[in-house]
Amino acid sequence: MNALAIIFAYANNDKLKELTEKRTPASVPIGGRYRVVDFALSNMINSNITKVGIITRNNYQSLMDHVGNGKEWDLSRKRDGLYILPPYAQYDSNMQEYGGWIDALSAAMTFIRRSREKYVVLTTGEYVCNIDYEEVLAQHEKSEADITCIYRRDDRGTTGDIAYTLEGDRITDVLLGAGVEGEQNMSMDMFIIERQMLENLVREAAMRGQKSLARDIIRRHLNTLKIFGYEFKGYARRVDSVQAYMQINMDMLQEDVREELFNNPNGRIYTKVRDEMPAQYLEGARVRNSLVADGCIIEGEVENCVLARGVRIGKGAKVSNSIILQKSEVLAEAHLEHVIVDKDAIVRTGRTLIGRENLPVLIGKGMVI
């Protein structure tokens, strides 16, 4: 595929609370053994995109530790491969966040300008989906579009989302802060655009002090450029809140969702491989409808849960509808329901924590409860 990819992995998201205190949303663990960015990287290599830049800003140590040199995604190459794009020195060192995609693309423009590929795929690193960008590019070229915007039909738009109005496949309006009731054409923050056109549009927007790709480029050029939509019909959810994070993990307990994400004809989802012993189920263990990663030791009861690597569930403990991240411990006789326990945390003997389906209890990294 004659395209390079840019993954935006710099955002901080207050709605994810402690989960992103020391990591970006893209590096949040998910599904027991994956990180959110694994889906974006896997989608690229499965679509034969072999040059991928990840734009970072701060809190990216966890992300760099995970992606390394890109070997697990076949992106460790002498030519092209994976590039981490931290902020350049000319940007204000006191600025904790890019103002928008225009700022981020301006900072990465040297990388883009020196590339040879004809097209650029732009995507957030926060989506869980399995998408074939070659199919999107085929439609882009067939329609002779200047920009193709990928969207999904959904009725869960919030005030921070963007929706499109279409006539046929052509986008005729961009609705900002979409919170309209009913099903909408919700933006997935994924785009295909010709590289030189992207350079020109970003340069023009930066000179005007503009920040947003959707508001300041796409909306501004609806009548001067051919801007088309591509509907993605598969499973797609964005990790943009604690509630969304919880729901996505619970969705992965459904066989049809797992099949679409991990056994899709588009390709598999790859992640960093760690050598761990198999999970151990000791006397008294009862596990139902759960994802259990390597290295777990279970003596209690687990139902409708996602357990990451190295988790320990003590004797007599009962854990349901919960997510327990790497190397955390739930000690004997503890009771957890609708709880998210971050990495290296400990829930002491006999503790009871009960949240709600739409309001889970969140235990921060390394905490002892």
Q: Cβ distance 45 to 274 under 8 Å?
A: no
Mind listing the pLDDT tens digit for each residue in 288-324? 999 999 999 999 999 999 999 999 999 999 999 999 9
pLDDT of res. 178 = 60
Return the residue matching tokens 């056994």: 263
pLDDT of res. 160 = 64
pLDDT of res. 90 = 44
Q: Give the pLDDT band (50/70/90) at residue 89.
A: very low
Number of Cβ within 10 Å of residue 177's Cβ equals: 12
Q: Cβ distance 333 to 355 under 8 Å?
A: no
Q: Mean of the pLDDT values across residues 153-159? A: 72
**Average pLDDT along the chain:** 92
Q: What is the distance between the alpha carbons of residues 177 and 104, in angstroms, rounded to a whole number?
A: 21
Among 239, 238, 177, smallest CA distance to 17 is for: 239
3-state secondary structure of 41: helix
Query: What percent of the chain shows pLDDT beyond 90?
Result: 82
Among 140, 138, 124, 255, smallest CA distance to 193 is for: 140
pLDDT of res. 234 = 96
Cα pseudo-dihedral 141, 147, 153, 157, rounded to 10: 170
3-state secondary structure of 123: strand
| Domain-wise residue ranges, the chain | 3-262, 280-363
Same fold, 3-262 and 280-363: no
Q: What is the distance between the alpha carbons of residues 251 and 256, in angstroms, rounded to a whole number?
A: 9
Mind listing the pLDDT tens digit for each residue in 96-111? 568 889 999 999 999 9
Q: Looking at domain 3-262, does it have CATH number 3.90.1150.10? A: no
CATH superfamily, with its number, for domain 280-363: Hexapeptide repeat proteins (2.160.10.10)
Longest dimension (CA), the chain: 69
pTM score over 0.75: yes
Mind listing the pLDDT tens digit for each residue in 220-275? 999 999 999 999 999 999 999 999 999 999 999 999 999 999 999 999 999 998 88
Q: What is the distance between the alpha carbons of residues 302 and 291, in angstroms, rounded to a whole number?
A: 10
- Strand partners for 121: 5, 192
Structure tokens at 179: 């919170």
